[in-house]
Amino acid sequence: MSEIREHTRLTKDERDRRVLELCEQVSEIEQRLIPTGLHVFGRASVEAERADLLRMVASFDRPETGARALPQLIAEGLSVNTTSPPDEAATELSEQSLRAREQVEALTREAVGRFLREGSDAACAWLETAARVDVVESRRVFAVLEKIAAQLLDNRELDAFARALRGEYIEPGPGADIVQNPSILPTGRNTHAVNPYSVPSDLAYARAERLVKLLLERHRAEHGRYPAALALVLWGLDNIKTQGEGVAQALWLLGVRPLRDGMNRVTDVEAIPLEQLGRPRIDVVMTVSGIFRDLFGATMGLLDRAVQCVAALDEPPEANYVRRNIRARMEAEACPFEEAALRVFSNAAGNYGTNVNFMVMDSQWEADDTLADLFVTRKCFAYGRDAEGRALEGREARAALNGALARVEATYQNIDSFEIGITDVDHYFEYLGGVSKAVEKQSDARPAIYLSDALSREAKVRSVEETIRLETRTKTLNPKWYEGMLKHGFRGVAEIESHVANTFGWSATADAVDDWVYTEVAETFVLDEQMLERLRELNPHSARSLVARLLEAQGRGFWQAEAEMIERLRDIFTGLEDRIEGVA
């Protein structure tokens, strides 16, 4: 009621703006690629999945083939503008652009559907009539889709697996997701790695500029200033897929550009002059995965050199946070420059992961500090050079990591895949959540936590809370997603339970989950009798774990639930236990 009353006090313009924002959110959810089931090894995707994938592939320019983004061609054919004007107050224009976007989206879907049912010629002809799209242009798009559609049907995974078991050679192919780089098809090949000296590519560096700008502007809009320091998570496979987009973001934050030698290898950096950068250099604490450490040794050296290069610049403290923070720590703790300037951290050699995920999943912690300390214990191994220029190769440096984290005000990770989000696997919360909890302990304040959506047509930076809301709506609570999972029976229920557990991981590490998320999970999967019966029949163990996780969320104070709801969950939990133990 109070919310309704509050709304009646809004002016008409404010109300219009809120409705529009809501529409934008709904359309964002609608347009996302939602996996409709698990990939079954050796089996080609079904038609509905193919249509979704092809629509996403068609939504991007493919400069290598001359094909332009289909939604853009349609918008041009219809002479409509689908991008919102920057001026928030221009409600009417935004409404128009929202409607235009919906129209373009619907026509794109229909065109891809016709292509799959009737072929390229029919789809081209239809697009010419329906949206005045030049046939020469649309033909280029469908030529790309034809190749991909055929490759999606050609599944060689089982054959390649059998050959691998016989010790035969498996051809390599690039590692990426299909929307980003369709040449990953056909599947069933080895993933080939990247030459670390090619990272970051020119394209990755160019894309990173825009993302870093969005990230810093968002932080400034919400906090009134740039973050004094930012903790960045870098993963290995992600930087292979994007040819170093995460690495390039670190370089942009510091305000440096990569330099290439005569063999076109990135071997050094140079500072971008402050006048050109137009903002302060941001201090960056990099916690890199074990896989990154194994693959990108040279790149870790480059990142360390970038920090040293920026720290050595004779610039005012308000324009160079790296130098300011290093000097402050040297003075406060009487520590040498080499110690205060360490910014690249990973596991000890031979070790992987933060273990924060295992501790959360097994419910083994009591105090928040335990998770923070575990993260630091696992990740406090420094890579860089000491005062004599010798490589550190992972020297334990707990005080250095804690000291660097103490000045961090924002944490961030680049998401580069359409397929895997922050509630699909436990690795996002173990890394980004883990480092955020460590910052919270060292700085006595929870940092702002951001993720990017580097791949959407309009790249976005979202807070972790917004990202969880979006993933909960598009996946966990979306019937299209969970019915897709339930088709897989036992494994599907386990996937649903795992999403709930990973969501819980974001409560544990970052207090980032709204109450409604848990309430609606309870209502959808447990308190709905028919659904509960389905889960119980398919996989009583995962059903029990899901209910236990909800009770744990309430017990730990992550979820303010009504007492009556908790009572019902307890009863259901007991019933599930009895059933599993054969009592009932």
Tell me the window of 156-164, 232-240, 298-306, 474-482 that interacts with ligand BEZ (CB under 6 A). 232-240
SS3 content of the chain, % helix, strand, coil (to 5): 60, 10, 30
> Which of 427/469 has CB closer to ligand BEZ?
427
> Which of 248/493 has CB closer to ligand BEZ?
248
Which residue spans within 109-214 are E strands per DSSP? 172-174, 190-192
Minimum CB–partner distance for residue 413 and ligand BEZ (Å): 10
The count of chain residues that interact with ligand BEZ, using the rule CB under 6 A, is 8
- By CB under 6 A, the residues from 276 to 315 that bind ligand BEZ are 289, 291-292
Minimum CB–partner distance for residue 238 and ligand BEZ (Å): 6
Cα separation, 33 vs 30, in Å, equals: 8
Residue 250 binding ligand BEZ, by CB under 6 A: no
> Which of 343/427 has CB closer to ligand BEZ?
427
> Which of 77/434 has CB closer to ligand BEZ?
434
Residue 427 binding ligand BEZ, by CB under 6 A: yes
Minimum CB–partner distance for residue 113 and ligand BEZ (Å): 35
Minimum CB–partner distance for residue 155 and ligand BEZ (Å): 24
> Which of 45/289 has CB closer to ligand BEZ?
289
548 φ, ψ (degrees, to nearest 5) = -60, -40
The end-to-end CA distance of the chain, in Å, is: 43
Residue 241 binding ligand BEZ, by CB under 6 A: no
Please, which residues have CB within 8 angstroms of residue 519's CB and are 6 or more apart in sequence? 559, 561, 565
Minimum CB–partner distance for residue 294 and ligand BEZ (Å): 9
Q: Which residue has the tokens 């209910």?
A: 547
> Which of 235/321 has CB closer to ligand BEZ?
235
Minimum CB–partner distance for residue 424 and ligand BEZ (Å): 11
> Angle 536-541-542 (CA atoms, 0-180°, nearest 5)?
85
> Which of 437/536 has CB closer to ligand BEZ?
437
Minimum CB–partner distance for residue 434 and ligand BEZ (Å): 11
CA 428 distance to own-chain centroid = 8
DSSP 263: T
Residue 436 binding ligand BEZ, by CB under 6 A: no
Minimum CB–partner distance for residue 246 and ligand BEZ (Å): 10
Cα separation, 346 vs 426, in Å, equals: 18
For residue 200, CA distances in Å to 27, 64, 163, 192, 458 come to 33, 19, 34, 17, 21
> Which of 52/424 has CB closer to ligand BEZ?
424
Residue 361 binding ligand BEZ, by CB under 6 A: no
Minimum CB–partner distance for residue 247 and ligand BEZ (Å): 12
Cα separation, 242 vs 253, in Å, equals: 18
Q: Which residue has the tokens 């959540």?
A: 433
Instruction: Give the one residue of 74, 194, 229, 237 binding ligand BEZ; rule: CB under 6 A.
Output: 237
Tell me the window of 230-238, 474-482, 521-529, 565-573 that interacts with ligand BEZ (CB under 6 A). 230-238
- By CB under 6 A, the residues from 144 to 173 that bind ligand BEZ are none
Residue 235 binding ligand BEZ, by CB under 6 A: yes
Please, which residues have CB within 8 angstroms of residue 176's CB and are 6 or more apart in sequence? 184, 241, 242
Q: What phi-psi label fits residue 324: left (phi over 0), alpha (psi between -120 and 50 degrees) or beta? A: alpha
Residue 236 binding ligand BEZ, by CB under 6 A: yes
355 and 289 Cβ atoms separated by less than 8 Å = no
> Which of 407/427 has CB closer to ligand BEZ?
427
> Which of 237/254 has CB closer to ligand BEZ?
237
Cα separation, 206 vs 346, in Å, equals: 26
What angle, rounded to 10 degrees, do the helices at 135-153 and 120-131 form? 140
Buried b (16+ CB within 10 A) or exposed e, 455-489: beeeebbbebeebbbbbbbbbbbbeebbebbbeee
> Which of 289/507 has CB closer to ligand BEZ?
289
Minimum CB–partner distance for residue 441 and ligand BEZ (Å): 22
Please, which residues have CB within 8 angstroms of residue 139's CB and are 6 or more apart in sequence? 120, 124
Question: What are the residues binding ligand BEZ (CB under 6 A)?
Answer: 235-238, 289, 291-292, 427
